[in-house]
A and B are shown apart, each in its own frame.
Chain A
Amino acid sequence: MAEQRAVHPLLKIAVVCGALILFFLVLSWGQEHWDAYTVRILNLCGIYIGITLGLNLCNGFTGQFSLGIAGFMAVGAYTTALLTMSPAVKQAVFFIQPLIYPLNSIQWGFLPALLMAAVVSGIVGFLVGAPAIRFRGDYLAITTLGFAEIIRIVFTNIVPITNGALGLKGIPPHTNLLWSWGFALVCIAVMVRLMRTTYGRALKAIRDDEVAAEAMGVNLFFHKNLAFVMSAMMAGVGGGLLGNLITTIDPNMFRFPLTFTVLMMAVLGGLGSITGTVISAAAVTIAMEAFRALEEPRVILGLAIPGVPGMRMVVFSVALMIVILFYPKGFMGDREFSLDRVKRLAAGLDRTNTSKQG
């Protein structure tokens, strides 16, 4: 370590800022010049990276196996949509029962609406998490799954707020590459920072042994809720971005398969790895779109194969099983990919006989 030349912190900051500016310049150019299909998939990548990181914070880093992510996404999506739609559109959409005051007469900017989505889903996260945190393992999974289902049913039935099963249409398409990747980067930064603090270590301690963590003075209620609420907030903002990307939402979008998809992204990348999550969320998102072709009817070698809806999920489930067989902890496990690691590996190859701490 000692002989390694330290990089000046200001230089480091300058390099990071430069890279960020370049990254966003490319994105804003791409937003105009890439084709709509590519832009859409890239948007989804950014959104799912953020949401999956949130799920990983709760399920992976803290070891609290929650299945409620679709519920939090729904809360965020409806909050953002209702705040950003114009009063005129709302009046047209809510033709069965009018939207209640004051929602019917307000229209917010995208950023405040997303922040509100974070607040509302965070509060819902706390309301669900605070009691559910007494449960462990399977019980937490079942309770949170039940919560997501309750959200869906409530949203189907409070017609004056959600427009019921018809859902919302004409949501302004605010989401673009800058928003979705900005969200992804914020989530990555939050996770990286959190895991470098003593609070992040406490979360991992809870994952490894809850009884020991509590005996060492880790307040389980505070720390589990911390993970739960932050996870819900990330899912909520992600849901909001998703709604304003695809411009229509309805309660049935937020069923269990959505949770399953996000969970699959986290498990494939490695529960407990930030870099694994980022890579896996992007890869699965792209594959999900690419495999859409599987569900369309087609003719192969003169054989007419009918389109089977849901075929993608079959393929993914099989792929998931195969991966779990060979990589039980996902591709990255709980390790991270970093330049330091590459350097260390390279150093290790140079002098294979030196101690562990090279």
Chain B
Amino acid sequence: MLDTNDAFDANGAPGTDSAPSADLPALACESVTMRFGGLTAVDGFNLRVPKGALYGLIGPNGAGKTTVFNIVSGVLRPSAGAVKLFGVDVTGLSPDRIARSGIARTFQNIRLFRNLTVLDNVLVGLHLRREANLAQAMLALPRHRAEETQMAATAAQLLEEIGLAGVSHYRASALPYGRQRRLEIARALATKPAVLLLDEPAAGMNPAETEDLMRLITDIRNRFSLTILLIEHEMKVVMGICERMTVLDHGDTIAEGTPDEIQRNDRVIKAYLGGGAVARA
């Protein structure tokens, strides 16, 4: 575990890449297949997200997008195939190990720590980078106290940057929907990821909120030098901000390319018109 961690740190830190890792994708899926009983939710899925990219994963509802996220984040173990982070195989690692390796995610159905404050939600995201062990923490040794102060400051700063500074002492469940989605992003950023997975972050938002959010996403990508993989079922939303995207339909990859290429792709148009996604959107 330790040595893989080191490998990620070495690759994940900008500017320290050695020659061979320079063209390694930040995140790659190689022939990933997921079967649930008789249903093949994802079939032979391939993905190469270059470092620093803002990459879209789109497709109608039920296409298998969230399943891909669950595999990448370790919630599900794929029936076949491999997931690689900067070339290192992370397939089948537990979610907490994957988080420690540098992949963070948000959830399509918001999953905040409802009874904790906004600040504490972000602090939980910082837990995995802790230095003090349990005994040091319990005894409140100076080292731990300095770390707790540091963590609180980091969390407060993150909330500031995400635009939640004013509500840091509210219970998470008391926030309006749009702010809960932002809090999920802040919490994920707290884990200091190299790759951030966002599962329909704009779901349930009005057009103005959506536009705000998309600005935030491009913004954090630059500020935190992240690689972002963004799920969206409504194509319009991501066309403007993603450099490249992959389109899923019924578990199959039907297209891959730039927004322009995707918009002109016959199979994509057919999937979206035929799949009833337009009606839903």
Contacts and interface: CB of A to CB of B under 8 A. Distances in A.
Interface stretch (A45-53, A149-157, A189-197): A189-197
A289 interface: no
Given A193-B138, A209-B113, A211-B111, A198 B169 contact: no
Contacts of A199: 127, 134, 137
Interface stretch (B94-102, B240-248, B252-260, B273-281): B94-102
B116 A208 contact: yes
B123 A201 contact: yes
A357 B169 CA distance: 7
B224 interface: no
B105 A213 contact: no
A215 B104 CA distance: 7
A219 interface: yes
Contacts of A207: 115
Given A190-B138, A198-B148, A205-B116, A212 B107 contact: yes
Contact of B127 (A194, A201, A209, A357): A201
A285 to B, nearest CB: 27
Contact of A217 (B100, B138, B169): B100
Interface string B7-48: 000000000000000000000000000000000000000000
B138 A209 contact: no
A33 interface: no
A209 B96 contact: no
A212 B99 CA distance: 11
B49 interface: no
Given A208-B113, A208-B116, A209-B114, A218 B138 contact: no
A217 B128 contact: yes
Nearest to A190: B138
B123 A218 contact: no
A356 interface: yes
Interface string A261-283: 00000000000100000000000
A205 B75 CA distance: 17
B120 A201 contact: yes
A217 B96 contact: yes
Nearest to A334: B115
A218 B126 CA distance: 10
Contacts of A208: 112-116
B125 interface: yes
A260 B101 CA distance: 43
B73 interface: yes
Nearest to B187: A216
Across the A-B interface, give the 5 residue pairs with the lowest CB-CB distance, nearest first. A217-B128, A217-B99, A197-B137, A208-B113, A212-B111
Interface of A: 190, 193-194, 197-199, 201-202, 204-205, 207-209, 211-220, 226, 272, 334, 356-357
26 contacts: A190-B138, A193-B138, A194-B138, A197-B134, A198-B123, A198-B127, A198-B132, A198-B147, A198-B151, A201-B124, A204-B113, A204-B116, A205-B113, A205-B127, A212-B111, A212-B112, A214-B94, A214-B99, A215-B75, A216-B104, A216-B127, A217-B100, A217-B128, A218-B127, A219-B94, A219-B96
Given A198-B132, A198-B148, 17 more contacts: A193-B138, A194-B138, A197-B134, A197-B144, A201-B123, A202-B124, A205-B124, A208-B115, A209-B114, A211-B75, A211-B107, A212-B107, A214-B96, A215-B99, A216-B128, A218-B124, A356-B170
